[in-house]
A and B are shown apart, each in its own frame.
Chain A
Amino acid sequence: MPTASVPARRQSSKVRRQRLRAAWLFLIPMLVVLAAVAGWPLVRTIWFSFTDASFSSISEYGWVGFENYLVYDDGMWFGVLADPAWWQAVWNTLFFTVVSVGAETILGLIIALTLNARFRGRGWVRAAVLIPWAIPTIVSAKMWGWMLHDQFGIINDLLMTLGIIAEPLNWTANADLSMWAVIMVDVWKTTPFMALLALAALQMLPSDCYEAAKVDGINPVRVFFKVTLPLITPALMVAIIFRVLDALRVFDVIYVLTSNSEDTMSMSVYARQQLVQFQDVGYGSAASTVLFMIIALATITYLYLGRKQIGGEA
């Protein structure tokens, strides 16, 4: 059969065009809503960061340029970027993120490996593991606040009974301990998320390589590090990145457990304090914008690395 030259690309058929039209019709309401609740407010926040707007009279403001970020005045640096409290908040947030996500990953893996074994009542244990995840952050912060109470808290009582400490510790107020208290609560609350994602990844692993390892008589610990961990790393990385992005914007747990204490203040707590408590919308917006930039950078890095996974299939 003679191969005729391929004709020029044609218009797609009616069905295809109808589907494309429907797709955009279906998407536009969602995009409009997203623009209204996220896009526009973000633009306004960035705008406010260049003004001196205040919370009580948000419609009256003057343009101040970069003053909220950094300004040199009278031999002194002012602005968010010159505020030691901001840098303390940045450090607190990063410390919190690294330590709590790290601890959650390790604990989550341990729980996932345990739940991956077959035993009676596994469904119930798995359900029990989900409980902390379902409890509102505020409630868990309060619950732990009570357990960590300096005078009547059960944790001090327990530690003293066991002879680990001699006298009650003031967990939430002590500058050396309060960050650890916050991390403790966060780890408790979000380890289930990690555990369940790790468990799901574990359950998708092919069983034949384990059987091969078993037949070869390889030590289970070695199997974990040489076989299991590399195989679940991709799934685990996604979970870790989700958690990192979440931890970078932490607010609730810190605000409720230690309120506006500088020792634990995160970037979000700092920005909200400026915005609402000090009523300085311009300055607070500048802090929010910097926080947004940091998270955007992390997100873009992640999207760039995970691009293939998102656009690739279907």
Chain B
Amino acid sequence: MACVELKNINKTFGNEEILPCVNLRIEDGEFVVFVGPSGCGKSTMLRLIAGLEDPTGGDIEIDGRVVTEESPKERGVGMVFQSYALYPHMTVYENIAFGLKLGTANKSRIREWVEKTAEVLQLEKLLERKPRELSGGQRQRVAIGRAMAREPKIMLFDEPLSNLDASLRVQMRTEIAKLHDRLQSTMIYVTHDQVEAMTLADKIVVLNRGNVEQVGTPYELYEHPASLFVAGFIGSPRMNLMPGRIAGATGGASTQVEVGGLGTLTMNRTSDGLTPGDAVTVGVRPEHFRLELSGPDRGLEVVNVEYLGNEAYVYIELPAMDELMVVRQPVPCEICPGQRVELGTDADLVHVFDHTGRALPAFTPQPEAAGVAEAANR
């Protein structure tokens, strides 16, 4: 049971700065997922917490104690590796017991621990097998068992499911979630798969080029992405991101944005510091559009319709956008390629990002300004 804190962590390999300056706090018992594209520094961050990598600058604290120079064992961490990294010449029992044997525990105590671990992970029948005699999922469970045998305060997972096939991945995901419920220990999990991140995490940390883009619950990340990067990274199909322009700012409480092909939207966003004419990016998730067939001379052209069984993706060409716009439609979907449609959306569901990629925060009415905001909001 432990909380972890990274303070001004910097990591540089040679001339390459992997993590410029990271500050992060992970609470006791939390399941935290680091997610981001490959090369964003998420694995490096995990390895720094594990003690397998030394930070170039900054400190790591566990339970308020600086552990920057301590070994993984002293930190009380257990780790599950992407390739499992089981000792090939040892049986499952020996793999799990290896770390325990290096401690001070006596033999019967070790056996007790291993058996308890094996029971939790349903490995009892496999204890005398060698890793090569196990299936991928079983190996993964042994790797988890080895990591948890010493009852670490913090369990670290480095892309543990990426070597498994899709169906097994779903199953193991559930098992890891159950394990967290059961052990209640702090778990830090690295993945590039946003589905894993969304389903497992109490808290997601989105990383991009070594910077923490946003920290939040899956709900917060999906509903209120703090930056253009998070907006584009979380959600599948991707959020539609369209170039827009500030049409009019009415004193900070509401903002009007003009988007080519969509018209002008009025939104409950603060527009402090923005002046009409400024370029912004407008984001709308595929499920937040309404489609209506329009006449042949109006609206936008449907380029393609993908039928997925439970829903359909309608691809629409928007002149201002390089990519096609995606709209999620329920099935049966009566729209066909070549038809023209009119797009509609709810202003509350539209995200606006300024030229630096930051989201314009939603306007929260101050008590004394409430009236003004009401008035401004049409």
Contacts and interface: CB of A to CB of B under 8 A. Distances in A.
**Contact, chains A and B (beta carbon distance below 8 A):** yes
Interface of A: 1-4, 6-16, 18
B57 A3 contact: no
A138 to B, nearest CB: 40
A8 B10 CA distance: 11
Nearest to A16: B54
Given A7-B57, A9-B56, 14 more contacts: A1-B23, A1-B211, A4-B8, A4-B21, A6-B12, A6-B57, A7-B58, A10-B54, A10-B55, A10-B68, A13-B54, A13-B68, A15-B51, A15-B52
Residue among A8, A11, A13, A14 with most chain B CB within 10 A: A13
B302 interface: no
B71 A3 contact: no
B21 A3 contact: yes
**Top 9 closest pairs, chain A to chain B, by CB:** A7-B57, A13-B69, A15-B71, A13-B54, A6-B57, A3-B21, A6-B10, A4-B21, A12-B54
B198 interface: no
Contacts of A7: 8, 10, 57-58
Contacts of B357: none
A3 B212 CA distance: 12
A209 B43 CA distance: 37
16 contacts: A1-B211, A2-B21, A3-B21, A6-B56, A7-B8, A7-B57, A9-B56, A10-B54, A10-B55, A10-B56, A10-B57, A10-B68, A13-B68, A14-B69, A15-B71, A15-B72
Contacts of A18: 71
B21 A1 contact: yes
B99 to A, nearest CB: 15
Interface residues of B, number: 21
Interface of B: 8, 10, 12, 20-21, 23, 51-52, 54-58, 68-72, 74, 211-212
A7 B8 CA distance: 9
A8 B57 CA distance: 7
Nearest to A15: B71
A6 to B, nearest CB: 5
Given A10-B54, A13-B51, A13-B54, A3 B20 contact: yes
A15 B77 CA distance: 14
Nearest to A8: B57
A15 B212 CA distance: 27
Contacts of B71: 13-15, 18
Nearest to A2: B21
Contacts of B8: 4, 7
A7 B54 CA distance: 14
Nearest to B57: A7
A13 B10 contact: no
Nearest to B211: A1
B39 to A, nearest CB: 19
A15 B75 CA distance: 12
A7 B10 CA distance: 8
Given A1-B23, A7-B58, A13 B211 contact: no
Contacts of B23: 1
B211 A14 contact: no
Contact of A14 (B10, B20, B70): B70
Contacts of B68: 10, 13
A204 B215 CA distance: 47
A257 B56 CA distance: 63
